[in-house]
Chains A and B, each alone.
Chain A
Amino acid sequence: MNGLIFLIPVALLLGLTGLVAFMWSLRNGQFDDPDGAAMRILIEDQDKPAS
């Protein structure tokens, strides 16, 4: 029982983190162009480090 009190919040928190991360990436347009994202890794010297 003691373990549960500790583990259940941890499990929920981890799940919630995933949910928040998903919502964030959705809002930032990460899912706008899934096919393009797969292609872009093949392009050389195009993406520069974000400054």
Chain B
Amino acid sequence: MTYVARRPDWSADAVETRLAVPDMHCAGCISKIERLLPLQPGVHAARVNFSAKTVIVSHAADLAEPDLLRAFDAIGFEAQPLHSAAAHERSQALRKLIRALAVAAFAAMNVMLLSVSVWSGADGSARKLFHWISALIAIPAVAYAGQPFFRSAFKALRAGSTNMDVPISIGVILATSMSLYETIIGGRHAWFDGALMLLTFLLAGRVLDEMMRARAASGAEALVRRTAPGAMRLAEDGASQWVAADALAVGDRVLVAAGERLAADGVIEQGSSRFDLSLLTGESAPVTLRAGDRATAGTLNLDGPVTLRVTAVGEGRAIAEIARLMESAGQAKSRYVRLADKCSRLYAPVVHLLAAITFAAWIIAGASWHQSLLVAIAVLIITCPCALGLAVPVAQVVVCGAMMRAGLLVKDGSALERLAQADQALFDKTGTLTLGRPRAFGVEALDEEERSIARALAMTSRHPLAVALRQALGGEHVGPAVLTDVEDIPGEGVRALWHGQAVAMGKPAPQDLSDQAGASNDPTMAVALELGNGRRHIIHFADALRPDAARALADLCALGLPPAIMSGDREEAVQLLAGQLGVPAEGGMRPANKLARLQALAEAGHKPLMVGDGLNDGPALAAAHVSMAPGSASDVGQQAADIVFLGDSLSGIPKSVRASRATMRIVRQNIGLAIGYNALAVPLAIAGYVTPLIAAVAMSSSSLIVVANSLRLRWAVK
């Protein structure tokens, strides 16, 4: 049996893609994906990483991302594309730390064994031997495992500041060199065990901290950029050629096919089509653009091919303006100081001062410089922040693991601290409160034969309504009918023959919609199905509310975060939804308006939580005190958000708020415990009563208490 992540011999043209699959939750899912996915066309093999909820798929080079997602869809899983480079870097950093931890722990255990013998009375030449063996183990181990601290401390000192790593480095280096000196002169005490144990506990804290970041990175931070990578450029002689987005110039003519995203801003020269602007404006219904209209990069062409004259590329695009807004908004937030940093900023000078005063006091009291230095080192070691270093990361890692299991990806620890302080919740509408994708209504009226024809028709088109119809019909166990002479008419729909009868799916005529009382008469959100023998059905679509939306908003209210809606969509559409949910709302907001609103709230002393998904929410997400985005959000939305929730349900938002508050409670307790321990141990150390045994016991027990307290958070996500 092999459990190693062994790579089979995949053929040379194979490409590997990492995808996030949040729905995996049991062994059955693993085996289903690994067995069934290779049966899909173009897929060679799949390997599940259950902890990160990702799948590495090896597939033929010509298999594009949408095809891959469709392959997952075919076996019943929803996959989301991931970009793996950043996550890989993170896991390298994590591995380095784990290696350092392993060395430190190994050395600490062995040295401790020898030290215990010394404490229990080994004397004379035996003690000398033990100390020398300890030195042989400890010095290389400290040199290797201490590097993360030494480097960071050196960097801080060179920049003229101190951080928590400075007292750690000084303490470890002083203790090690003092111990070596004691060993050489054959003294009673050596401190190798203390120095190593300190490193072990602190490295454990660092590993946990890094683990949390790496986990988040693998899930959320690095989702692919979904703006078009390039466009089909038309030369003067009519020939067309695919060029990358940054090779486009103002004045170029490009052909945009149906289902393609625009790579540059431009004016439509030829053709007309409906465009999905929701990524940019939050408007959920498609907008028809004709020759002479402006189209912006990042929007999706839905119906037919159009020719575009490029008017802006690169930094000049409307989309780049949003990126700039986002960046400047994000900078303000990055100044947030984490609780652990606040503690360490106070901590470092206090510890140094304490050790220096102790040294001076003992000298003044008439002790030898040797003894005074020993006591000062004891103070440095015993106050060293191993419990403090563990207090925050352990709690955060435990809670992030629990949140991850509930489908909530936290990007960094400060997000939890900020979420615990939030006092207001602002929601985007399209894609956040609603699913952001149309859902079909009225499919039940079709009989089995009609369903199979409808499914076959829907499968021929990439139009969003066709995809929605396919999803609505997919749940039934009806295979698609066999169609012939399929003809796709851009802007109109699909026509085909079924057993010699003409069948079609397309735009409904205006009279079709006016017939139906009560139903929405928006022609862009309905399709007409002609199913032979004069059978006609109109299927309506609507952007449905996310499940649990009303409950989640009520929960947030109860938690002291009154919700409000802030949307770029049309005022009427927003008010309709706001009325249903009973929350205040404002529509028609541009990205800059949302940003201004958040900045005004921040100036008024509020700490708003922003929940949004689109490109248009990017600046607002970056500016808000804390932000969340659904897993279906645009990459910009996910980059800007602090927490990403997977799946359709909104119940993750109140869950996150509760979990973050529980975390802060535990973190405060942990810091209290760590400080309490220091308050007890420091006077003993200053008085010179601390033997290595007492230091070792006190240090490890305080760290273990902090870890045990943090483990209570495993059950905090409810």
Contacts and interface: CB of A to CB of B under 8 A. Distances in A.
A32 B48 CA distance: 11
Interface stretch (B101-109, B170-178, B272-280, B423-431): B101-109
B126 interface: yes
B31 A46 contact: yes
A29 B4 contact: yes
B26 A39 contact: yes
Interface residues of B, number: 32
Interface residues of A, number: 30
B27 interface: yes
Interface in A1-51: 1, 4, 8, 11-12, 15-16, 18-19, 22-23, 26, 28-37, 39-40, 42-43, 46-47, 49-50
B554 interface: no
A33 B133 contact: no
Contact of B52 (A22, A30, A33): A33
B113 A37 contact: no
A49 to B, nearest CB: 6
B106 A32 contact: no
B655 to A, nearest CB: 20
A48 B2 CA distance: 7
B51 interface: yes
A15 B4 contact: no
Given A15-B110, A19-B103, A33 B26 contact: no
A3 to B, nearest CB: 11
Contact of B106 (A4, A15, A29, A43): A15
Contacts of A35: 50-51
Given A35-B50, A36-B30, A47 B2 contact: yes
A33 B102 contact: no
Interface in B421-478: none
A42 B98 CA distance: 29
A40 B3 contact: yes
Interface string B59-102: 00000000000000000000000000000000000010011001
Contact of A1 (B31, B106, B126): B126
Given A26-B99, A46-B31, A33 B1 contact: no
B113 A32 contact: no
A15 B31 contact: no
B353 interface: no
B52 A18 contact: no
Contact of B109 (A15, A37, A39, A50): A15
Contacts of A1: 125-126
Given A12-B110, A36-B49, A49 B1 contact: yes
B289 interface: no
Contact of B137 (A12, A39, A49): A12
Interface string B1-27: 111111000000000000000000011
B573 interface: no
Contacts of B106: 15-16, 18-19
B406 interface: no
Contacts of B26: 39
Contacts of B52: 33
Nearest to A27: B95
A4 to B, nearest CB: 7
B34 interface: yes
Contacts of A22: 102
A33 B5 contact: yes
B35 interface: yes
A43 B27 contact: yes
B129 interface: yes
20 contacts: A1-B125, A1-B126, A4-B126, A8-B114, A8-B133, A15-B109, A26-B95, A26-B102, A30-B3, A31-B98, A32-B51, A33-B5, A33-B48, A33-B49, A35-B50, A39-B30, A39-B50, A40-B3, A46-B31, A46-B35
The 4 nearest A-B residue pairs measured at CB: A36-B50, A42-B27, A39-B27, A50-B2
Interface of A: 1, 4, 8, 11-12, 15-16, 18-19, 22-23, 26, 28-37, 39-40, 42-43, 46-47, 49-50
Interface of B: 1-6, 26-27, 30-31, 34-35, 48-52, 95, 98-99, 102-103, 106, 109-110, 113-114, 125-126, 129, 133, 137
